[in-house]
Amino acid sequence: MAKQRILSGIQPTGELHLGNYLGALRNWVEMQKDYESFLFMADLHAITVSHDPAVLAENTYKTAAIYLACGLTAEQDSTIFVQSHIPAHSELGWLLTCVTPLNWLQDMVQFKEKAVRQGENVGAGLLCYPALQAADILLYDPDKVPVGEDQKQHLELTRDIAVRINHQFGTSETPVLKMPEPMIRKEGARVMSLSDGTRKMSKSDPSELSRINLLDPPDLIKKKIKKCKTDPVRGLEFDNPDRPECNNLLTLYMLLSSQTKETVAQDCADMGWGQFKPLLTDTIVEALKPIQERYAEITQDKTILESVLRDGNEKAAAIANQTLSRVKQSMGYSRPL
């Protein structure tokens, strides 16, 4: 039987952190042997907030290098590419924007949150962002889309857009677009900020101390854990709604040391923060060490990345162009003469 296909992406808008790793990247790496994977850098989405042209391309390549450093590889059927290198994304993005009702876009939580943060200078791209994301997904006919919890609403919208296109331009026997399923793992789907256990860890948080980046050196990790928010209670526990920081830090420890929840709950039940923090620091440092070593190797030799992205682009573009033709035909466009 043919392998199922997954597709996902990350915006190259800053350094990748533990939330990106545990909510997305680590799952992609685990899944790549069982799925045909299409994984990209969403650099068109990256300009929906104000951006610096001098660092956009650099961030995109850094993000690609992190994908490889985490273990994604063409040898295990992963296709890695840059969104803006494949014009079909923008083109299908426009076609989908035109069939998406305005109020669907206005209802998106991410739009509302980011629009408030940007004040008066909100570009229309921020509103249309999810229609482009739907295009990213639907171009590749994926079975599943592995993401963190914050993307759930965008995936539901993608499915609604696909239903609409199929209803308006397809038939029940020959749908135009395939319906993708979101894939959100319970553990790690929502890693919280180190400064506030009720907010998610995010690249856009102004405080560096709120997150641990995958390339942070050990002394910086130590400093961030030392300063992270805790509570005055002795003994550590999962799932107490009054102790969000405690739950988050224990979850990080559990996931990065690959232990079960039961074991961690038992081992840490009588611990104080003074004992737990060094343990967590060592665990994070050890988990990130192989990624950082591999990242240093990959970025020494530019040709590695260039060849991965060239091959990825070729393979991805062939599929994307086929889907785009199918959609355009269904919507009544003629082929160019």
Which residues are part of the catalytic machinery?
A: 114, 200, 203
- Helix 244-256 × helix 261-268 angle, to 10°: 120
Q: What stretches of the chain adopt beta strand conformation (E)?
A: 4-10, 35-41, 78-82, 144-146, 181-183
11 contributes a contact to ligand TRP by CB under 6 A: yes
Residue 312 binding result from ligand TRP, ligand AMP, none, given CB thresholds of 5 to 8 Å by partner type? none
Stretch that binds ligand TRP, among 2-10, 112-120, 232-240, 308-316 (CB under 6 A): 2-10
180 contributes a contact to ligand TRP by CB under 6 A: no
Residue 19 binding result from ligand TRP, ligand AMP, none, given CB thresholds of 5 to 8 Å by partner type? ligand AMP
246-249 contact pairs (CB < 8 A, 24+): 246/197, 247/197, 248/191, 248/192, 248/197, 249/276, 249/280
Residue 152 binding result from ligand TRP, ligand AMP, none, given CB thresholds of 5 to 8 Å by partner type? none
245-250 contact pairs (CB < 8 A, 24+): 245/192, 245/196, 245/197, 246/197, 247/197, 248/191, 248/192, 248/197, 249/276, 249/280
42 contributes a contact to ligand TRP by CB under 6 A: yes
Binding track, positions 153-192, relative to ligand AMP; x by CB under 6 A = ------------------------------------xxx-
Q: For ligand AMP, which is the closer residue by CB, 134 or 191? A: 191
Q: For ligand TRP, which is the closer residue by CB, 8 or 97? A: 8
Residues 56-75 that bind ligand AMP (CB under 6 A): none
- Which candidate, 220, 287, 249, places its Cα nearest to that of 69? 287
DSSP string, 234-246: SS--SS-TT-HHH
151 contributes a contact to ligand AMP by CB under 6 A: yes
Residues 237-266 that bind ligand AMP (CB under 6 A): none
| Other residues' Cβ atoms within 10 Å of the Cβ of residue 257 | 16
19 contributes a contact to ligand AMP by CB under 6 A: yes
DSSP string, 77-114: TEEEEEGGG-THHHHHHHHHHHHS-HHHHHT-HHHHHH
145 contributes a contact to ligand TRP by CB under 6 A: yes
Q: List residues binding ligand AMP (CB under 6 A).
A: 10-11, 19-20, 23-24, 147-148, 150-151, 189-191, 200-203
Q: List residues binding ligand TRP (CB under 6 A).
A: 7-11, 42, 45, 133, 136-137, 145, 147, 151, 154
